[in-house]
Amino acid sequence: MPGIGNKIANADIDLVDETFDVQKSKNYHLSIQIEAGRITFCVFNTVINKYIVLRSYPLSITDLSSVTGHSISVSAYRSIFENDDLLGLSYMSCSLLWVSTRFTFIPEHLFDPGDANLYLTFNHGVATGELPLHQFIRSVKLFHVFSCPRDLISLVRMYQPHVHFFSQSMPFIDSVHTGISTTGKIDVAVYYYYHWLDIAVVKDEKLLFYNSFIINAPADSVYYLASVSNMFDIDLKSTKLKYAGTLWKMPPEITILKDFVDGIIEFDPFNTFTFSHYITDPFRKNFINLFNLYGCE
């Protein structure tokens, strides 16, 4: 049904189940996804194991540097938190998915929490005003180190003091490991965002490759996939390619990919939860990382 209360007028997705009850928010988990150009959140009813809210706001981008996850102003996000009627409720728990290209992986036996900022400098320059964060991805036994703007962290904690921060890599890698091949074959997975894509290569339970690539044209995704495939001697014609992400942007990319890849398979959300009848399949596929985030808690 249409959204309730005081949402901001420019929300382009506003799906609220009739079972949603403000008075029962302590039974709900809030998941928020923030990326350059969009903020999306969903509400999970932990009692009935169902997602009952999905709301998303588009934001304009004036600085391409913000796409990579740094040099970004939080003023637009602040307006949404101040005016949306659901983001400030008191929930049982809250997770935030920060989508950024600024990250690196460290083997478990080499990781030292005190060196998180140092690890980021291996692949990226030091970003002013960002806080290094980390998470352990059990499925691949790696620490994932990423950074998030301090102003954004402070803003979110004003409304959700107990929020846990994650990057997009954790739910994506866990999704890749769901139903992976057990015969020694290589699995390739692609997740599209508005301005870049993440590519993961997995063999059995080992993560062979993971990286983000900026997209300027539909053909870029084919170029990056071909480059990664050459690195691991992968024949795309005989490899199943899993994909998910911003589906309303993806048709040109998928059309081109089908000329090079025979088996393209859509990701499915984890089957451990259900959805409101308003949150139909296209919406589920668009925000798989967001829906799977609750399982990372």
Residue 21: pLDDT over 90: yes
Contact status, residue 273 vs residue 50, Cβ threshold 8 Å: yes
CA dihedral of 271, 272, 273, 274, whole degrees rounded to 10: 40
Q: What is the pLDDT of residues 29-53, one digit of tens each?
A: 999 999 877 899 999 999 999 999 9
Is there a single domain that holds both residue 262 and residue 204?
Answer: yes
Domain span at residue 146 reads: 13-169+270-296
Residue 187 counted as domain residue: yes
Residue 6 counted as domain residue: no
Is there a single domain that holds both residue 48 and residue 123?
Answer: yes
Band of pLDDT at residue 70, cut at 50, 70 and 90:
very low
Residue 199, domain CATH: 3.30.420.260
Residue 64, domain CATH: 3.30.420.250
Which has the closest alpha carbon to 257: 180, 176, 189, 181? 189
Is there a single domain that holds both residue 219 and residue 84?
Answer: no
Is there a single domain that holds both residue 30 and residue 127?
Answer: yes
Is there a single domain that holds both residue 67 and residue 210?
Answer: no
Distances (CA, A) of 131 to 53, 120, 127: 30, 11, 9
> pTM surpassing 0.95?
no
Q: What is the pLDDT of residues 174-201, one digit of tens each?
A: 877 765 555 677 888 888 887 788 999 9
Q: What is the pLDDT of residues 243-288, one digit of tens each?
A: 888 755 555 666 677 777 777 777 766 667 899 999 988 888 889 8
Q: Report the domain count for the chain.
A: 2
d(CA 6, CA 286): 25
